[in-house]
Structure 1
């Protein structure tokens, strides 16, 4: 699955791009450790987003990785509930709808298997971003936001 918007291409990836280490270093300077976990889990094989219904997408501009995000089963919920994980947009690409396009692609993929997608964020910027993407804020020990992927008819 590839979505192209001008010079932006969002595609499913099955290997971490070489620039992931630069991405990780940038995230660490902002106080985020989740890309460190992504790299470590990938290296030891504990999470490669390769189980049924899971995926890892990258957003690329002119062939350069500018955003990444994954979808997995939510280990704290039912089998029909997915979880967005490791969503990160490079600082230089923020405010350009890259993150929103990436999340939309992840949600389209999720809709094939899950009825709800949940996530957890610990920043006010992240919370505001996910509200703009159509998520609802929730009170839960393991998630801060959720989005239903089925019509409530």
Structure 2
């Protein structure tokens, strides 16, 4: 349990943390397979969030990995667009702003390299969460939510 923001630290991950299998087990128990894809893609080298502008970040509380999320180049659109991927918060750490802090960090990182960030979620809870984080819902075959860092005027 996160008792204060001081206990929460967001760090970029350059190697899979030893606690990722535990998060993966929790995600699979909830019916989510995207952390399994994260581990598989990392191990086979197809996505290590290591291209320019990309990054994989973990939220740690007292040294324990409690959430993870990545930012990659969006393969469905141009090079100025990033994609939020594999965002997951351990069930015991939800409703404590961990996800919001992690997404805020990912967006600050994204703003340095991209003009737009997109994502896709298939749950009503995820959709509501991303709206609370400032994303706009979109009707697109490859994204459900978008955030632009460019003023439309």
Q: Do they superpose with TM above 0.5?
A: yes
3-state SS of the aligned residue for 2:139? coil
- Provide Cα deviations, 1:90-132, integer angstroms capped at 9, x if missing partner: 0000000000000000000000110100000000000000000
Query: Aligned-pair RMSD on alpha carbons?
Result: 1.0
Q: Which residue of 2 aligns with 1:85?
A: 85
Q: Which residue of 1 aligns with 2:121?
A: 121
Unmatched tracts of structure 1, length 5 or more: none
- CA distance in structure 2 between the aligned counterparts of 1:101 and 1:150, rounded to whole angstroms: 22
Q: Which residue of 2 aligns with 1:30?
A: 30
Q: Which residue of 1 aligns with 2:97?
A: 97
Aligned residues: 150
Residue 59 of structure 2 corresponds to residue 59 of structure 1: yes
- Provide Cα deviations, 1:35-55, integer angstroms capped at 9, x if missing partner: 000000111111100000000
3-state SS of the aligned residue for 2:140? coil
TM-score relative to the length of structure 2: 0.96
Q: Which residue of 1 aligns with 2:71?
A: 71
TM-score relative to the length of structure 1: 0.96
